[in-house]
Amino acid sequence: MLEILVAVLILGLVVTTVLSSFNMVFSNAETLEATASVFEMGRTCLTRITLDLENAFILERPPYQPPGIDSPPDPYRFQGSAENKGGTALAKLRFTSRAHVALDRPRSNGIAEIVYYFQAAPGGGLRLKRADNLYPYPRFEESSIDPVLCENVKSLAFEYVDAEGKVFDEWDSESPRFGNATPVMVAVRLEIGDGDDSFGFQTTVALPLVRRKSG
């Protein structure tokens, strides 16, 4: 009887060890799957932003003329703003690009107005969304039908590099501050994650067209 009890005890210890190993394997598998999903989302988001910027359309001189006091803004202007909420960088960017995505609309090509902006997700957190409209460009408004580029965004920052290599966290091609010029490069820094976990992504994109500073 004693031998049977010892055998049962040993068997129980073996089964417990095996089950613990299985639980650890499955837990690690779920963690790896979630991590892979986040990396894929971040990679896809940066790929989309890169494609848009690599196809940016800029009106050059002499067709381009600096806006007068009462004249409408250049429809192909390049504008980036930076906002900081509680230590979180939430950049917004507006420019035009040949990388239009039709999304069941009748016209499938042309120069599109692209706007990246943030919207609160129903369950909390922030979504990065992408507005895409062909000319004539409507007044920008957030829309529920704009596709989501990325979920659970913790921060997004753009840095704009001018022809002299100076770096700015905001840009307005219609502003005398920049001499009605456009940046030559844009650096992108994106952080996404859930809870305490976060993953960073970054890239730098050279614009295909550049309007030099006036004067």
Residue-by-residue pLDDT tens, the chain, 215 positions: 666 655 556 656 655 665 565 455 445 555 557 678 888 999 999 999 999 999 999 999 889 988 888 888 999 999 999 987 767 778 999 999 999 998 766 667 899 999 999 998 887 789 999 999 999 999 999 998 999 999 999 999 999 999 999 999 999 999 989 999 999 999 999 999 877 788 999 999 999 999 998 86
Contact present, 154 and 191 (Cβ < 8 Å): yes
d(CA 171, CA 160): 7
Could you give the C-alpha distances from 87 to 25, 54, 108, in angstroms and in order? Answer: 37, 30, 40
Contact present, 42 and 190 (Cβ < 8 Å): yes
- Asked whether residue 34 is domain-assigned, the answer is no
pLDDT of residue 26: 46
The count of domains in the chain is 1
Rg of the Cα atoms in the chain: 25
- Asked whether residue 66 is domain-assigned, the answer is yes
- Asked whether residue 20 is domain-assigned, the answer is no
pLDDT of residue 25: 46
Which range marks the domain in which residue 92 is found?
41-206
- What are the residues facing 153 on neighbouring strands? 192
- Asked whether residue 121 is domain-assigned, the answer is yes
pLDDT of residue 12: 60
- Asked whether residue 214 is domain-assigned, the answer is no
- Asked whether residue 194 is domain-assigned, the answer is yes
Sign of CA dihedral 60, 83, 197, 149: negative
- Asked whether residue 21 is domain-assigned, the answer is no
Could you give the C-alpha distances from 83 to 105, 157, 199, 203, in angstroms and in order? Answer: 32, 9, 21, 20
Q: Is residue 62 reached through a cis peptide bond, with omega within 30 degrees of 0 on the bond before it? A: yes
Q: How many CB atoms lie within 10 A of CB 167?
A: 11
- Asked whether residue 23 is domain-assigned, the answer is no
